[in-house]
Structures are given as structure tokens and as C-alpha cells.
Amino acid sequence: MKKIKIGKFAPLLSGSIIERASRLSTALLCDGMKNLGIPLEGCMDEGINPVDLKMKVVGTAYTLSTDSGDNLPVHLALYSAKEGYVLVMDGKGHKEHPYFGDLIVSTAKAVGLKGIIVDGLVRDRENIIEIGFPIFSRGFMQRGPAKENPGELNNSITCGGISVNPGDLIMGDADGVVVVPVDKIEETLANAEKKLAYEIERKKNILLYEEKRLKGEELFDLSPEWVRTMLSDSK
């Protein structure tokens, strides 16, 4: 049997970074990466989604590479894991076998991982939802996985069409999964927080406008400034 290739663990992201990111959403993080030269604004493709829409995960990437539904590397990853990381798996989008089920999920929770993102399938959906541990995958398959090749841990991978390196910021929520490169985290968070402040104020104005309209009161111009500018320029 081949030996597993294990790279070094990247440092866990600071508690303050995780706390700031946790107040945001994947959509806001993607907005925060615009114009930073990050391909596809760090958004994994639309096929990778939470097992349950209520699931959310924010943490530091711990990477794994495997293929053909082989989950031997998953077992090796779990028992090499350190508390606080999110396991991100490049499973090559394999569709014939799942990479894990509820026993792996229970183990991941027990050893202190924060969640698992897999470019592939899982099984035991109802039990995973009951466990409540964040899992993001391409879907479900009841067939059992293989256990043959050890794969690689903590090296650069591709998951959902996005490059992931150990130490990157990972967030998954009801909209999908986003990856923020470690050297772009501070700039992305600052941009996303600014966008959040704008959206909070914008939503207040929308609700106020609706309230006034329903009461038959005088209305104000609800359009954003950039819309007003475009309309003005077109005259």
C-alpha cells in the first residue's frame, strides 16, 4: 500500500477573524472578494450544498485529496486531525460511491473538526441531520465506499472548481461554500463588512418605503444612487 503524503498544518485563523466572518454570509464574502483578482470570487460551484439548509460552518481549511469514492484518506485525515479545522475534500466529483456516512460524521465531531466540505457524495442523510454537524456535498448515494489508496493531506487541492490551500478561510451556508485565500482575508472581511452595513441601511429604507406606500403617505425616491445616476445619464 502506498504511504499517505501529509503536509504541514497551517496555523488556525485567529478567533477574531472567525468571529468577524461568522457575522457575515457566503454571499457577502463573495461580494468582498470582487476586484481582488480571486477567480470566481472564491465561490465553489452550485453543486456543493449543505446536507441541511440550517447548517453553517466557518473555519480554517484542512485539505484532503482522494478519488474514485475511496475513503481510506478520510479515516487517515480524521485520526490526524486537529481541533478547530474544516476538512475540505477534493473527491473529484465522484458519483458512484459516497465518501462517508454518519459514523465518519460522528467521529469528525468527536475529534473537534468544525465541518466537512466534500466534492463528492455522502450517505445517511437523516442521521447526519440529526447529528447536526455541518456537511456540504454534491448529493447522496447509499452504496458503500472503497478503502484502497491513502491520498494526500494538507496540500493544495481543487474543490468545487476553486483552489483551496491549507489555512484558507472556509465558509459554508445555505447558499453554498466560499473560500477566501489566506492572504486576502483582511481585505475581504473589510469589504464584506462595508457591504453588510450598506445592506442593513438599504433594507431599512425599503421597509420604510413599503410602510409609507401602504399608509398612502408621501413617497421618497427608493432607487439606489447608482440607479439614479444611470437614469439621469440616459436622459
Residue 150 has pLDDT above 80, yes or no: no
- For residue 182 the three cell numbers come to 489566506
Q: Which pLDDT value is given to residue 231?
A: 82
Q: Give the β-pairing of 139-140 and 115-122.
A: parallel
Q: Which pLDDT value is given to residue 8?
A: 86
- For residue 101 the three cell numbers come to 456516512
Query: Smallest Cα–Cα separation from 127: which of 100, 87, 145?
Result: 100
Question: Which domains are delineated in the chain?
Answer: 5-189 (3.50.30.40)
**125 pLDDT band (50/70/90 cuts)?**
very high
Residue 140 has pLDDT above 60, yes or no: yes
The strand pairing partners of 164, in sequence order, are 157
Rounded to whole angstroms, how far apart are CA atoms 56 and 194?
A: 22
Mean of per-residue pLDDT scores for the chain: 94
Spell out the alpha helix ranges (H) of 115-184: 125-131
Residue pair 167/7 in contact by the 8 Å Cβ criterion:
no
Alpha-carbon separation of residue 2 from 11, 133, 151, 158, 221 (angstroms): 28, 31, 9, 22, 67
Rounded to whole angstroms, how far apart are CA atoms 128 and 135?
A: 8
DSSP type of residue 70: B
Query: Smallest Cα–Cα separation from 134: which of 162, 176, 96?
Result: 176
Residue 10 has pLDDT above 70, yes or no: yes
State pTM to two decimals.
0.92
Residue 4 has pLDDT above 80, yes or no: no
- For residue 94 the three cell numbers come to 465522484
Rounded to the nearest angstrom, the gap between the alpha carbon of residue 187 and the centroid of all alpha carbons in its chain is: 18
Number of residues assigned to the chain: 235
**2 pLDDT band (50/70/90 cuts)?**
low
Q: Which pLDDT value is given to residue 109?
A: 98
Q: Which pLDDT value is given to residue 158?
A: 97
Mean pLDDT for the stretch of residues 81-99: 95
Q: Which pLDDT value is given to residue 151?
A: 85
Residue pair 196/25 in contact by the 8 Å Cβ criterion:
no
Rounded to the nearest angstrom, the gap between the alpha carbon of residue 167 and the centroid of all alpha carbons in its chain is: 14
Which residues touch 158 (CB under 8 Å, ≥6 apart)?
Answer: 90, 119, 164
What is the per-residue pLDDT across 36-66, written as a single tens digit (0 to 9) for each? 999 999 999 999 999 999 999 999 999 999 9
Q: Which pLDDT value is given to residue 144?
A: 87
Residue 12 has pLDDT above 70, yes or no: yes
Q: Which pLDDT value is given to residue 228?
A: 84
**235 pLDDT band (50/70/90 cuts)?**
low
Q: Which pLDDT value is given to residue 116?
A: 98
Spell out the alpha helix ranges (H) of the chain: 15-22, 26-32, 72-78, 102-111, 125-131, 185-215, 225-233
Q: Which pLDDT value is given to residue 41?
A: 93
Looking at the chain, the whole-number percentage of residues with pLDDT higher than 90 is 86
